[in-house]
Structure 1
C-alpha cells in the first residue's frame, strides 16, 4: 500500500501537499525524464500552425511553460521558442513580453495582421495548404491569405513591428495606403538575414498616388533575400539585391515607372535561379517596335503567371526559355487582344511547347465570355504523379466584341493537346457571339470524354439542343461523347422557376435519348443546384444514380 500511495497525485491526498511534494511527484513521471533536446523539439513542433490539429502556437507555448518548473526553466532558456511563436494578435503587454523573451535571436516569421484566427476557422476548408510549415515553397500561402482575409492594422502596430525587420527572416505585412510612410522609414537599413519580403497595400489602386520602394532598398544589402512578393507597390527591380531571387511576384503595382515587356526580359536575365514568376498588370505598354528582344533562360522555373496587355504578355512569354514539362503551373492572360503579330507569336509558341510535351492531359475546362476565350488543362506528368495546371486566356474590350475572330486559333491549341481528355468542363457565361457551330467544334474535341461538367443555366440551355441531336436525324452530325457516363451540373435550376422554362424537360429527354441509343448515362451529380423532386424521380426511373451536393 505504501508503494502505491507514492504514485498518487499529491492533489488527491487528504493532507495538503507541499510545493516540494508536487515537484517530487512531477519529477518521477516518465515525461519528466525526457532528454532536454527532445522536449525542445516537441515544444518547437507546437510553434507551427497545424490546421489538422488546430491550436494557437503562442497560447500553446505559454501554457506549456506553466506545466511544471522543469518545463518553464527549459523554455525560458530557449529564446528561439518564443521568437517562433510570437503572434501579433495577442494583447500588447504579452506580445512585448514574448519579444523580450526572444532576446536577439531571429524571428522566423513576422505576419501582420496575424492569421491565427483564419487558420483555426473550420469554415475555410479550401485553404491551399493543410499545414503551414516553415518551408520556403509552402509559405506562398501567407500573402494570399493576407490579401483575402487580413484585417486592418493600426498605425501603432505598423510603427511597432517594422523596426524588427532587421531581426526577421520572413516578413509579411498588409497595410493601408495611409501607413506607407512607416514602411519607408524602416527599409533603408541593411537586412543581412531577410529571406522573404512581402507587402500587400490595401486601396493602392483607388488612388493616383505612386507606391514605390526606394532605390537604395535595404541599403543594397540583403544577401539572403530569395522571395519578393509585392501587391500594390513597385520597386527598382533591376537592383542587384534581386539577382538571387528564387520567387518574384508583382501584382498590380501603383507606379508610373513599370518596365515594358522587353524591360522585364532584361531584368529577368539576371535572375537565373527563379523558380516562380508572377507578373500581374505590372507592365508599361511599349511604343517602340523596332528593337528585337533576346531570349532569356530560366532553367529552374516551376510557376509562370502573366497577366496584362497582349503585347507585353506575348513578348515576355515568347522570349522565355524554360522546360515546359517541368512547370507545375502556367497561367497566361492576355488583355486587349487583337489579331496581330503578338497574338500569332503566342499561339505559335504554345504549339511549340505542346508538340514537345510528354504530359498526358486528363481534364479540360473551356470558358467563353462576351469578351473572352479561356481554357484550363490539368495533366499528369509521365515521370511522376505530380499534377500540372495549364491555363491560357484572351480577352478583348467591351467596345470590341469580335472575340470569336480568334476562335480558330483558340481551337487549334485545344485540339492539339486535348484529344485524349476524359473530363470536359464548360462555362459559356452568356456569350452571345458563340454560335452552334462553335459549340459543336468544342464538343468534338475528344471522343474519350467520360465526364461532362456543365456550369450555370445558360451553358446547359445552349448545350442541350446540340447534345440531343441524333446522328440518324442528321447524317452530317457525328455522335458526341460515345463514352459519356457522368454528367455534373453546378449552379443549375431544374424545375419550377427556371428562367429557361423548358430546360428541365429537355434535360430529361436528353438522358432518355442517350439510354435509347445505347449510351446510357450512369450518374448525374448536382452541385449547389435547385432541382425539383419530380426531376430526380424521373432520372432515377431511367436507371441514373443521382447525387446532390
Structure 2
C-alpha cells in the first residue's frame, strides 16, 4: 500500500517507529507478536524496508507456540534468515503439541537446530513447561553463552537427589563456566555443579528447587552476592556433616520460600538479608503421622526467625499503613507502606501508622 505523506503516522521519524515496532515484537508480553510484526511489515514500502533492515526485530520472535500455527514451514527458516546475527529471544511451550504430529516433529527439529547452531546468539531462553517437547538437555547447555541474559527452563535430572549430595557425582559445568551477561537463572531440575563459576556473581535473580540441599544452596548463594530476587522451592536438609556457612545478600529485594519448615528455618538462619527485603514464606508438606510436638517445634523455629526479621524491620522504618492478613489454616502476612526510612526507637513506631487493616479467616 503506498504511503501517504500527509498521514500523521508517516510523519514519525525512524527512531520513534523502531521503538513502536520493537515494543510490539515482544513474545514474552504478547503472544501475537509474530502476527503483529508480519502485518506491520506489509503496511507500506517504507516500513517494510525499515523493518527488514532491523534484524533485532525478527530475532525476538522465536515463539515456538506461535510458529506452530503458521502453516508455511518456509516462514520458520525465513524468520531465522531475517534475524541475521542479532541476539535471539526464544520461547517454547508445547503442552498443546503433546501429540507427535508431523508439524510438531518439524518444529521440534527447528528448535534443536536453533539451539545447536545459534547457542552463542541466544539472549533470552524461556521453556515454559517441563513436560514440554522442547525440553533442554544438560549437554545442550555445556557451551559458552556469551549473549545469554535470561534463562528459564527444566532440565532432566542428571544429578543425585539433594539427600545424597555428599556422595561423589559427575560434575558438568553449565555454560562451560562462561556466561558473562547472565542476570536471571531459573533452570529447574538441575543443581549448579560449579559453585565457583564466575557468572554467578553477576546474577540478579535465581530460583533454587528440590535438587538443592542446604549446603549446595548456601554455596551458590555465597557466590551470587549481588542477588536481588531469590526464590527457593522445596529445598531439602540433606546430610549436614559440618557447620553450615552464613551468607550475606546485601542487595536482596525479594525473598520467597516455599517448602518444608526445617530447611526454611535453617536457610533463613544462615542468610543475612537487608531490612528492606520483601520476605514471603509458605510452609507445605505437613505429615499428619508426625508427632504434634515435632511439627510445632519446626514451625516455631520458622516463626521465631520471621518475627525477629519483622521486629528489626519495624525498628528501622517509618510507615503510615499496616496490613495484616491472617488465615488460621494456612498463612499470615504483614504488609507495611513506607513514607520514609531511618533509624528510630521501636516504641515510637506505632504512632507513625495512620491506617490499619486486618483480615482473617
Which of the five TM-score ranges fits, normalised by the shorter chain? 0.7 to 0.9
Report the counterpart of residue 277 of structure 2 in structure 1: 327
Does the CA-based 8 Å contact 2:27-2:61 persist in structure 1?
Answer: no
Report the counterpart of residue 63 of structure 2 in structure 1: 87
Q: Distance in 2 between matches of 1:155 and 1:175?
A: 17
| Offset, 1:382 | 3.1
Q: Distance in 2 between matches of 1:424 and 1:310?
A: 25
Matching of residue 304 in structure 1 with residue 264 in structure 2: no
Matching of residue 226 in structure 1 with residue 207 in structure 2: no
Change (3 A) 1:50 1:332: closer
2:121 to 163, 167, 174: 167
1:250 to 208, 220, 223: 208
Structure 1, residues 89-122: CA drift from partner, whole Å, max 9, x if none? 1224323212211111112x211128xxxxxxxx
Structure 1, residues 240-266: CA drift from partner, whole Å, max 9, x if none? 13232111112344xxxx32x244223
| Offset, 1:327 | 1.7
| Offset, 1:344 | 5.2
Q: Distance in 1 between matches of 2:172 and 2:277?
A: 32
Does the CA-based 8 Å contact 1:238-1:267 persist in structure 2?
Answer: yes
Q: Distance in 1 between matches of 2:27 and 2:216?
A: 40
Matching of residue 353 in structure 1 with residue 309 in structure 2: yes
| Offset, 1:49 | 6.3
Change (3 A) 1:50 1:301: closer
Rg: which structure is higher?
1
Q: Distance in 2 between matches of 1:152 and 1:282?
A: 32
Q: Distance in 1 between matches of 2:309 and 2:256?
A: 16
| Offset, 1:269 | 1.5
Q: Distance in 2 between matches of 1:420 and 1:313?
A: 33
Change (3 A) 1:188 1:360: same
2:92 to 107, 112, 121: 112
Structure 1, residues 217-255: CA drift from partner, whole Å, max 9, x if none? 1121111111111334433262413232111112344xx
Give runs of aligned pairs for residues 4-403 of structure 1, distance below 5 A: 23=2, 26-27=4-5, 29=7, 31-48=9-26, 56-88=32-64, 89-90=66-67, 91=70, 92-107=73-88, 109-113=89-93, 151-152=96-97, 154=104, 156-161=106-111, 162-163=115-116, 164-175=118-129, 183-200=137-154, 215-236=172-193, 238-240=195-197, 241-253=199-211, 258-259=212-213, 261-286=214-239, 288=241, 291-324=242-275, 326-333=276-283, 335=285, 338-340=295-297, 345-356=301-312, 357=314, 358=317, 359=319, 362-369=322-329, 374-383=331-340
Matching of residue 425 in structure 1 with residue 348 in structure 2: no
Q: Distance in 2 between matches of 1:231 and 1:34?
A: 45
| Offset, 1:376 | 1.6
Does the CA-based 8 Å contact 1:165-1:171 persist in structure 2?
Answer: no
TM-score, with structure 2 as normaliser: 0.74
Does the CA-based 8 Å contact 1:26-1:68 persist in structure 2?
Answer: no
- In structure 2, list runs of 5 or more residues that go unmatched: 99-103, 287-293, 342-349
Does the CA-based 8 Å contact 1:299-1:323 persist in structure 2?
Answer: yes
Does the CA-based 8 Å contact 2:235-2:263 persist in structure 1?
Answer: no
Change (3 A) 1:286 1:306: farther
Change (3 A) 1:34 1:267: closer
| Offset, 1:374 | 2.6
Q: Distance in 2 between matches of 1:56 and 1:293?
A: 48
Relative contact order, higher structure (CA 8 A, sep 6+): 2
| Offset, 1:174 | 3.4
| Offset, 1:368 | 2.8
Report the counterpart of residue 539 of structure 1 in structure 2: none
Change (3 A) 1:214 1:225: farther
Secondary structure of the structure 2 residue equivalent to 1:282: coil
Give runs of aligned pairs for residues 379-528 of structure 1, distance below 5 A: 379-383=336-340, 422-427=356-361
CA RMSD in angstroms comes to: 3.6
Q: Distance in 1 between matches of 2:267 and 2:15?
A: 51
